[in-house]
Structure 1
């Protein structure tokens, strides 16, 4: 499998040359302060923020509009799954497209594709049409992530990559949370919100096509064999699969769940925003504990707490009917622990492999996540169609309980599991593209350590 991302040698060789904006000093000395560096890459960061405002709105809007049009829960689950299937396809296609036409043209091509898809959803409200459009949306977004993230890899000096990575993840989560508030602008039954989503995606073109930053090369990274990853850290593989199952179902079906609870448009926006913010904020204390304890126990505890949050989501409408604050709090609690499964699993694998294996190993986990995210909405949507609205938190509960039980079984079989080389560092993450893994502080260190 080909994974986008600028290699260490080409990234450094591209600086300081004729016409370059960098004059890189020897020994990796810092060229610009971090703030100046962020200003330099602000075009890329603002482009991804605008893109996620549009796509974040569109993801929630599709569930709400489809439900209002009478599409069944199972159908909406399949439509959501088709997006993640398209994203997996895009991971394979993105490097080829970027090599063929370059970063800026590839970004413009796929942003135009996403904008056209966004406008088309409101024109053809048909399940078959939406399935195809979601596949195209997934392919386009995977390519856009590849372009922006490989560019960020190229521009980030080794000593500043961790901070730039953190800023990038904050922008991701902040834009997704803010996108939910755009639902307040109009009814999902109107064409307005589809147009707003397309406008934001189109605006993302402006800063990226305006930039004069040098474009990186696209390298190739082989995937680690699945059996090697499983042998090294079975809990990491199981944790990332569970994260894909529950998070795919969350992004695709949580708006539908809130709507069936009787929430109006503004309340659905608040429900989604609280969930995303809870998922972002709770990762920091969990990460602090994860770096100071056995990460396998932290994964077990996070899965168990996510299961408790899922149980609260299922029971709260009966325990406190009409209390939206209680539902918002339950959603934030659940999301805080379920979002962290991805980050803990990635870091646990890093603990268990060598520096040379980090990019291949983490890329394999991202592929496993994508498989889970593709299956999750289809399975949860089918369960909702059969059993009703409560089946979504029940699906969360089933997956997280199964993960917690599996973790406990592994802990009993292997009570001690030493770190192979240097311990990894927990970094709050959301699933974006494969190229961003090179910005992770641990994989950045491995690149520096193994570069000739």
Structure 2
């Protein structure tokens, strides 16, 4: 099928990237805000892990159902609809401080955010295949950079009253304005096609595992890291900064991923990043002090946030452009499965001596071993095929 998008330039993809960055700032602030503000609304702190999991359950549902919306209204309009839905789920939280309402709101929020991710990823993955890694790096940089900036809202704006919600909603409205009035090319989404179950089963297994583990780790980090840091006796004003350090690590690695992909196989690359994460977690138990903790969390961010872009690029490698939206759905669906399970599984570790770090250590070490085996197997198959 002929390419349906003019080869992207910085100007042509600026609209979805700017809108995504504004969303990321708002979402980053909100993700750390929710578990810390539960006591203010007389809600039990144990609700935090369930709010995180139900959000990712919504992500799971949304990942499976967003393609028809994109196909019907196009990438730009679908992005706008998803952001408006997300705004309504946020506005209801301070108005109705009830556990059931918050759970329902976060479920719907997850469905809307799934739309955001599939829309932007498929938008940027269309076009020149050789530039996909760079465009994904820009996407991840905007996402993680915005999220890191959003974490600082905990210390700068605080967690009390209505001002945090006003700030978050304002940023999201600005993102909608950018999408409505900004000029940008978008894929001809009516030409997209769905992958069959047989085609899905033939997608790279290491890519799918990488997306699942990315969800297992990032879902737990977003949902429970603020509580883990609080349990370590760290002040609220410092928690936002440390969360920002984690995400800054994720942002810093994005320009490096395309460069490393030229010299290392993507499966081996995921194994090395997992090994780096294991080393970072070990560092948190060996070395004391806030600076050492900050450095370890930065490296943990580098390791965990690198997995998804490497995995999705591997999964979409040599794939026809008409299947890109469907493939990104599959990858996000895989990520969402991990994200739903992550906070719940990690919650079992929270009462232990190692807490969240023990969970992340186990998940990354197991993945490192799997990816090393998969990399060796793929290399042997390539040699045998020559």
TM range (shorter): 0.7 to 0.9
1:48 and 2:20 are equivalent in the alignment: yes
| Deviation by residue 1:182-240 (Cα, 9 ceiling, x = unmatched) | 222333132211121111111112121113556654243333648965x7754333333
Conserved 8 A contact 1:10-1:217? yes
1:375-414 correspondence runs (5 A): 375-384=341-350, 386-387=351-352, 390-410=354-374
Provide the residue aligned with 1:254 in structure 2. 225
1:121 and 2:93 are equivalent in the alignment: yes
Instruction: Compute the displacement of 1:91 (Å).
Output: 2.5
Instruction: Compute the displacement of 1:387 (Å).
Output: 3.1
Name the CA distance, whole Å, in 2 between partners of 1:240 and 1:148: 17
Provide the residue aligned with 1:144 in structure 2. 116
C-alpha change, 1:408 and 1:265, in structure 2 (3 Å) is same
Name the CA distance, whole Å, in 2 between partners of 1:46 and 1:259: 32
Instruction: Compute the displacement of 1:349 (Å).
Output: 4.8
Provide the residue aligned with 2:330 in structure 1. 364
1:41-440 correspondence runs (5 A): 41-66=13-38, 71=43, 74-100=46-72, 105-148=77-120, 163-213=134-184, 216-219=187-190, 220-223=192-195, 225=197, 229=201, 233-285=204-256, 288-313=259-284, 315=285, 319-320=287-288, 323-349=289-315, 355-356=319-320, 359=324, 363-384=329-350, 386-387=351-352, 390-410=354-374, 416-418=380-382
Unpaired runs of 5+ residues, structure 2, are none
**Structure 2 counterpart SS, 1:223:** coil
Higher mean Cα deviation, 76-85 or 290-299?
A: 290-299
Give the alignment's TM-score, normalised by structure 2: 0.84
CA RMSD across the alignment: 3.5
| Deviation by residue 1:44-94 (Cα, 9 ceiling, x = unmatched) | 332222122111211111121126656556531121111112122223333
| Deviation by residue 1:284-328 (Cα, 9 ceiling, x = unmatched) | 556544432454443333222212222333x25xx52xx211111
Conserved 8 A contact 2:137-2:258? no
Provide the residue aligned with 1:26 in structure 2. none
C-alpha change, 1:94 and 1:368, in structure 2 (3 Å) is closer
| Deviation by residue 1:236-281 (Cα, 9 ceiling, x = unmatched) | 3333322221111112211222222222233112101111111232
Name the CA distance, whole Å, in 2 between partners of 1:161 and 1:407: 23
Name the CA distance, whole Å, in 2 between partners of 1:173 and 1:356: 28
C-alpha change, 1:147 and 1:290, in structure 2 (3 Å) is closer
Conserved 8 A contact 2:64-2:329? no
Provide the residue aligned with 1:20 in structure 2. none
Larger Rg: 1
Instruction: Compute the displacement of 1:114 (Å).
Output: 1.8
The size of the alignment, in residue pairs, is 382
Instruction: Compute the displacement of 1:371 (Å).
Output: 0.7
**Structure 1 counterpart SS, 2:382:** coil
C-alpha change, 1:412 and 1:374, in structure 2 (3 Å) is same
